[in-house]
Each structure stands twice: as structure tokens, then as C-alpha cells.
Amino acid sequence: MSHSIERQILKGSPPGTQQQLQIHRFGPADADRKAYIQASLHADETPAMLVAQHLLSLLRAADSENQILGQVTLVPYANPIGLTQFVNGVHLGRHNLGEGGNFNRSWPDLYELIREYLAGKLSQDIEQNRDTIRQSMKTALARMETRNEAGHLKQLLALEACDADLVFDLHCDDDALMHLYLTPHQWPDGQDLAADLACEAVLLAEDSGGGSFDEAFSTPWPRLAEAFPDVPIPRDGCFSATVELRGQADVNDVHAASDARAIFRELQRSGLLEGQAEETPPLRCEATALEACEILRAPATGILIYQVELGQQVASGTVIAELVDPAAEDDRAARQTIQAGTSGLLLSRRLKKYVHAGDSIAKIVGRAPLPERKGLLLDD
């Protein structure tokens, strides 16, 4: 058996406290291929942690049968800082309450960190170049100065992921259907994973604008290939995906077991695990540009009353929700409608129905890029 558990203590914790990251490792340390999987970087996205527990059971069983061929690293909770953040009984794990900022934003730009260093160090051997690039990433990350426990956490997670062939960052949305975030060069390679997870949407963006975790490891490879056209560099040096495991309330063993099995089968297809993956079910959706996904926002503060259900196809102009003003003195002025600005699939809705002006209240997956969707494409 190859299973080991490593515990990393985060540096910079206040006196009398200690934050710990748990890392499960399977397979030979010198294997040529590696998968890295982490759960709940947004610490209040509980479905991911349950999927990780089901996957851990599958990996332990495979390990007992000597079926693990590559390295598989699993972090069952990627954000111990966020796991402690409760305010009056409400778990707030998306943003760092101490330092500020979204835990899944502003990850290191590995392309910029290593581009100048690589000049003159690459050869005509594509495998050797892959190894040189990965080692350069590890060296650059190891040299990063970390000012606090959040910075040290970011460094530790990035060091685990930067040399992996597969990176799966397990999240969930507010109230949503299963979907994936990928970069365009990872499609159609991601079709089997999307089919196995029964995804209702796959959203593609070269750069979503926020420096998210998954893009930190997938985007450097095509950029390096363009920067060094005279040497062979694998554009697919890392297949990295954000897996959105439906909504926050979708925490049950049926979903979690199914999702874990889908990820397990992807590890089989990728040659990290022994065994023949079951036949992939039909793909349920096409991949679409993230720029074509409309984020509807509340025009004022009030109470949301949704008029359409998740998974419904809507047309531009369809009333998605009504917004009720609890302070309205005239019934005729108490409600205003929020309409779709594009045609497509209603992918997500807001779980809590009292909203402030400007809050996102729904995502609609359309086909045509929207002119206003530029810069930060994600909902912060």
C-alpha cells in the first residue's frame, strides 16, 4: 500500500492558534504522471468536501489492490482558514475575513514568474522541456515570500498542483446545476469528464480575469508555447478544471458517490489508476464561451421571487424573477421584473432570497458572447 498522510502547519497564525492542511498521497512518488485534487477552496462549499471523502474511500480501496499507477494527491479541505470563519452562526468561507479578498482569486501568474528564467534552458526534447518547466514552477513558488497564513496556504497548494498532469478544483455554486470551467485549449479533451459528471454546461475562458486557481496551472503552457516557438512545449502540459458540484444545499451521499466515481473514472482514463473505465454516457451539453454567460443582477434591494426553474431554457426578455420592495407603500410599485438579456439555459440562482442592489441573482448560459462581458468574467 502506498497511502500516506502529510500535515502541513500554516505559518503566520496568531499566537495560541494553529491552522493545518491535510494532504493524502497515493502511488509511487517517482511516477511519471500525477493528479492533484482539492476540495472547498471556498470553505463554505460543502458538497466538495463530501465528494472528496467518497473519492478518498475509492482511492484507499484501489490502493489496497495495488491499482494506483501514478501519483494521486488529494486535499480533502483546501482552506482551513475559511473553515473557521463563522459570524453569528453563519459560515462565510468564500472571502478572507482577516486579510480581505476571495480565496480563489489572485493566484500566482506562473508564466510571468518563469518566462525569463527559461530563456536558453529549453531543448528539442518535449518531455525534457515539460520537466524543466515544472521544476521551474516549483522553484519560483518555493522562493515566494509569504506574509501570513493565507499566503502560506496559497504557496503550499500551488506547490502541490504545479507539477500535475491533472488538476481538479472542486467547488459548488449557490443553487445550480452541475458544470465545469475550462480553458478553450482543453476542449474537446474534457468531453469525457463533462459527460461522466453529467454536466449541464461547460464554460470556456482563456482568462476569466480573476487569477483563479485552475487557470494558474492550465494557462502557462499555451502561453509558453507561443513565447518559445522554436522549441517543443506541450500546450496541454496540465489539464486543470474547476468542477462546480451543483449548489450549496446539494449535500448528499447519492450525488457525492456519483461525482466521486466520475472523477475516479477520469483517473482511470488518464492512466493514473489501473482498470478500464466504464463507457462514458452521452454528453449533455456543448461547451460555450464564458463571455456568453450572462450574470443577472438585482437592480435594487428587495425580496426575490423566481419565475423560472433551474435547467429551463429561456429567451431574451423572459422574466427570470420579480423583486419585491418590502418598504413599498403602494402595491402597484412594490414589484419590478428582472428579465433575461440573452437566450439560453438558466444555470444558477441565488439561494438566499433577500438581496442588495447589484447582487448577482442568476446565470444564463447563452451562445453568443455579450459585449458587456469583459475583464472579470467571474462573480466575485
Domain ranges of the chain: 4-285, 290-365
The rounded distance, in Å, linking the Cα atoms of 100 and 85 is 12
Give the list of residues 6+ apart from residue 40 with CB closer than 8 angstroms, or none: 46, 48, 49, 52, 77, 78, 79, 82, 83, 93, 170, 171
Regarding pTM above 0.95, the answer is: yes
Separation between Cα atoms, residue 336 and residue 117, nearest integer Å: 56
Q: Pairing mode, if any, of strands 166-173 and 239-247?
A: parallel
Joined grid coordinates for residue 124:
528539442
pLDDT at residue 380, as a whole number: 82
Separation of alpha carbons 48 and 40, rounded Å: 6
Q: What is the pLDDT along the chain (380 residues), one digit of tens a residue?
A: 899 999 999 999 888 889 999 999 999 999 999 999 999 999 999 999 999 999 999 999 999 999 999 999 999 999 999 999 999 999 999 999 998 999 999 999 999 999 999 999 999 999 999 999 999 999 999 999 999 999 999 999 999 999 999 999 999 999 999 999 999 999 999 999 999 999 999 999 999 999 999 999 999 999 999 999 999 999 999 999 999 999 999 999 999 999 999 999 999 999 999 998 889 999 999 999 999 999 999 999 999 999 999 999 999 999 999 999 999 999 888 999 999 999 999 999 999 999 999 999 999 999 999 999 999 999 88
Cα–Cα separations (whole angstroms), residue 212 to 13, 26, 268, 299, 302: 24, 26, 27, 27, 31
Nearest to 163 by CA among 327, 338, 29, 318: 29
Strand blocks (E) in 248-318: 287-289, 293-297, 302-306, 313-314
Domains 4-285 and 290-365 share a fold: no
Closest CA to 83 of 40, 117, 116: 40
Could you confirm whether domain 290-365 is CATH 3.40.50.1370? no
Please give the Cα distance from 131 to 298 (Å, whole number). Answer: 48
All three cell numbers of 160: 502541490
- Please name the fold of domain 4-285: Aminopeptidase (3.40.630)
Residues paired with residue 360 on neighbouring β-strands, in sequence order: 297
How would you class 3 by CB atoms within 10 Å of its CB: exposed for 0-12, middle for 13-18, buried for 19 or more?
middle
pLDDT at position 119 is 94
53 to 15, 190, 214, 318: CA distances (angstroms): 31, 23, 21, 40
The CA distance from 244 to 203, in Å, is 11
What is residue 277's predicted lDDT score, i.e. its pLDDT? 85
Judged by DSSP in three states, 101 sits in coil
pLDDT given at position 185 = 96
The amino acid that residue 41 corresponds to is L
Q: How far apart are CA 344 and CA 373, in angstroms?
A: 16
Cell of 76: 480533502
